[in-house]
Structure 1
Amino acid sequence: MPGTYGDSTRSIKAVGSEAIPGSPIAPPPVPAAAYHLPADEDDSLDSYGRRSNPTWRQLESALARLEGAAGALTFGSGMAAVTSVLRTVAEPGRTLVVPADGYYQVRAYAREYLAPRGVRVVEARCAQMCDAAGDAGTGDVVFAETPSNPGLDVVDLHQLAMICRAGGAMLVVDNTTATPLGQQPLSLGADLVVASATKALAGHHDVLAGYVAGSHPEVMARLERERLLAGPILGSFEAWLVLRSLGSLGLRFERQCQNAAAVALMLRSHPAVRSVRYPGLPDDPSHAVAAVQMRRFGGVVAVELASAATVHELVGRSALLVASTSFGGIHSSVDRRARWGDPVPDGFARLSMGIEDTDDLVSDIEQALGAA
């Protein structure tokens, strides 16, 4: 039955084209900047490439199905999606709560762009997000990221949503790290979901994309208008690349989660490791909440080593890890987050697990650390 489909089946069904005899099974990209216009000036049809595109709509339909949303909108990057949402819903005179320990560019945008324009910006760590939301009132916005990037703390979304609803605040959740196969914030009470499709959804280190998903028609219409006027659109070929990748998302994400769990377990007892965070570990501080609201715990592991030099030595001695600042791709990677300004120790690294064979990956990382 459709309601019991597994992740790979859901991914395949989401990107399936209409079963018309003679039509391609895989939908082709539609690169178009302008269209033939009808004489009756019907505004419901495609007219200009910044306004609409058939490939966008196919991808947006798939994303909405995966997120459990009424609709979705694509953007040129994850940050394009985030900033479009914040420009639209965080109005001057209102309060915006953002993670103090989440993705650093969200804080930077709030401080540098929104605060000077009259938005009161409050930064709260994930552990204090519910307390901060308790002070938010009607018209205010709470922006949560869970698991957080890079620390992997988990926010209790059901509790946070109830607090926001009681105060009249809007809850926006960044679902990049978890993906819709790991967590569905809308079902837990969020008003909007934003995410970078650059990461696990596209999954091949070769495209930038973002999206917003939601079920409030008025809010989604305002966001679509913002996209039309500001122009942070996703190219049709890039949209097709993401759509093409979604079909294998279930398989890729399953292996990434499997690899992350195995690597985290090995790191927890390795003498070169000072600390490790992964929501799937039973003794992780976030495990109890994660076990309730997440179906899978993700493909990212946070680890602290002795120093920046130790992180670089890990990469140099590994045959499988690459140094990269993104995550969610098919290649396993390491990113020393202090180099980007995150408030973490110099030896803190975000490990993104790829789709290599689990035993190979665990053995490779273990020997690379052992030689350090």
Structure 2
Amino acid sequence: MSTITELLHAIPADPHTGAIAVPIYQTSTFVQDAPGVNKGYDYARSNNPTRATLEQLVAGLEKGAAAYAFSSGLAAIDAVVKLLQAGDEIIAVDDIYGGAFRLFDKVYKKFGVTVHYVDTTDAGNVAAAFTPNTKLVWLETPTNPTLKISDIHAIAKLAKAHGALLCVDNTFASPVLQQPLTLGADLVVHSATKYLGGHSDIIAGIVVAKDKAIGDEIKFYQNATGAILGPFDSFLLIRGLETLHLRVRQHSQNAQAVAEFLQQHPLVDKVFYPGLPSHPHHALAKRQAKGFGGVVSFTLKTDTVDAATTLVCSTQYFKLAESLGGVKSLLCHPASMTHKSIPDAIRLANGVANSLVRLSVGLEETEDLIADLQQALEKVAVKRPQLSEQEPLEPALAL
């Protein structure tokens, strides 16, 4: 049985009515037969039938023992960090999502959790960063927004040898393309807002655990802190999963074509997309994943904020917005949007240039998307002689 067939038929018909869609159990509490005697549910923060179905489905997709749904991707990340205690250390990918950096630097740092940022594309850098206090390795692969690829299997072996957990943010790839738990990771997180939901209509996060014992700890923190996903959003996320394989396939096909177009454009400096043979980690991406995803980033030869702003404000089908992974194409300027919480010196050192633009390539016709980028680049060309260097952006909170 294929994965997509298995997924679709893992979504149960309602045993009470035969409904083909999972019911939305919009209730806060459940009637008990006697004190402590119930039908598996007592209070909706602790568990809910709609959410439970979603969690079972995602656990199956990621080949994990258990999954838990949270109110946002950052709430999911927060639950994983709660496995640590004061004095513990994290080795984290240097090209990290701005929200994760903010959580590590502004919240957990003051509680005594230290984070060491390294270029994880070289497993040797990870090996050199371990200390006796290292308890967690944090990977994004592909990274956001420069789409670096790290060797999950090699880093998993290092983590295991040092008694540390490996958590992989699998948001960009989705379980359709990459399953980190099968490569040795202990935990997977998703901003389910993105590809798992797929329609830009929910905020959600997922943690998947390889082993039941770790899953039980995540479940404890989900219940104890209450950052749960509600039943209606759980329903929407289940509906998104039903078309995940088809959407990711088309996202990837469109992104490949867009990346190839950008690579030959005279105003474009660098294109970041693992599906291009010129990508430094193309062979690794091809080996550990089944495809290259729907996100493409690129820089302009005129590397200024003004140049990027002209481009992102000139497209028609690519809408300027935070987030990614929806059916409609989006674009953003990370330096002033998603990565604004990262200090300029760190941002620039990690390759997030002033002119870098991130595309979330949607499901529109490929030729329409390429034509849209072509006309926007033409507007950059017209304005190019007047562009000048801009002062570094001031750090602020990313959305």
TM-score, length of structure 1 as denominator length: 0.93
Shift, 1:113, TM fit:
1.9
Give the one of 224, 247, 253 matched to 2:248. Answer: 253
Asked if 1 retains the 8 angstrom alpha-carbon contact of 2:312 and 2:333, the reply is no
Are 1:335 and 2:343 counterparts? no
* Contact map agreement 1:98 1:106 (CA 8 A) in 2: no
Aligned to 2:195: 200
| Partner amino acid, structure 2, of 1:241 | L
Higher mean alpha-carbon deviation, 305-314 vs 223-232, is at 305-314
Comparing 134-143 with 179-188, greater Cα deviation is found at 134-143
| 1:291-310 map, 5 Å | 291-305=286-300, 306=302, 307-310=304-307
Amino acid at match of 1:357: E
Q: Out of 165, 169, 180, which is 2:175 matched to? A: 180
**Within 2, Cα distance between the matches of 1:136 and 1:370?**
51
1:114 to 99, 105, 108: 108
My pick for the range that moved more, 337-346 or 122-131, is 122-131
Which residue is equivalent to 1:61? 56
| Distance in 2 of aligned mates of 1:219 and 1:102 | 24
Shift of 1:282: 0.8
Quickly say closer, same or farther: Cα 1:250–1:145, change in 2 above 3 A. Answer: same
**Residue correspondence of structure 1 range 223-372 to structure 2 within 5 A:** 223-305=218-300, 306=302, 307-340=304-337, 341=340, 342=342, 343=347, 344-372=352-380
When residues 162 and 136 of structure 1 are mapped into structure 2, their CA distance, relative to the original with a 3 A threshold, is farther
Deviation (angstroms), 1:18: 4.1
Report deviation, 1:130.
4.7
Indicate if the aligned counterparts of 1:171 and 1:190 stay in contact, CA closer than 8 A: yes
Q: SS of the counterpart of 1:221?
A: helix
Task: Give, as a single letter, the amino acid of the residue that structure 2 aligns with 1:17.
Answer: P
Using the alignment, how far apart are the partners of 2:36 and 2:16 within structure 1? 31
- Give the Cα separation in 2 of the matches to 1:93 and 1:353: 41
Q: Which residue of 2 aligns with 1:48?
A: 43
Query: Any idea what SS the aligned residue of 1:274 has?
Result: strand
Distance 1:164 1:330 in 2: 36
Tell me by how many angstroms 1:19 deviates. 7.8
Mapped partners of 2:225, 2:137: distance in 1: 23
Q: How many residues align?
A: 366
The answer for the alignment partner of 2:137 in structure 1 is: 142
Equivalent AA in structure 2 for residue 149 of structure 1: N
Deviations 1:283-326 (A, max 9, x none): 10110110110111110001112232333332343221100110
Is 90-99 or 238-247 further displaced after alignment? 90-99
* Equivalent AA in structure 2 for residue 72 of structure 1: A
Give the 3-state SS of the residue equivalent to 1:368 in structure 2. Answer: helix
Question: What is the distance in 2 between the residues matched to 1:227 and 1:47?
Answer: 16
**Structure 2 segments unaligned to the other structure (5+ residues):** 381-399
How far residue 131 of structure 1 moved from its aligned partner, in angstroms, is 2.2
SS in 2 for 1:329: coil
Pairing partner for 1:80 from 58, 75, 84: 75
TM-score (norm 2): 0.87
Deviates more, 1:18-27 or 1:247-256: 18-27
Aligned to 1:100: 94
- Where structure 1 has 5 or more consecutive residues not aligned to the other structure, the ranges are none
RMSD (Å) for aligned C-alpha atoms: 1.8
**1: CA distance between counterparts of 2:329 and 2:60?**
28
Assess if the C-alpha contact under 8 Å between 1:170 and 1:191 holds in 2.
yes
State the 1:128 CA deviation: 4.4
The code of the aligned residue for 2:48 comes to: N
8 Å contact 2:167–2:186 — kept in the other structure? yes
Q: Percent identical across equivalent pairs?
A: 36
Task: Please tell me whether the aligned partners of residues 76 and 189 of structure 2 are also in contact (alpha carbons under 8 angstroms).
Answer: yes
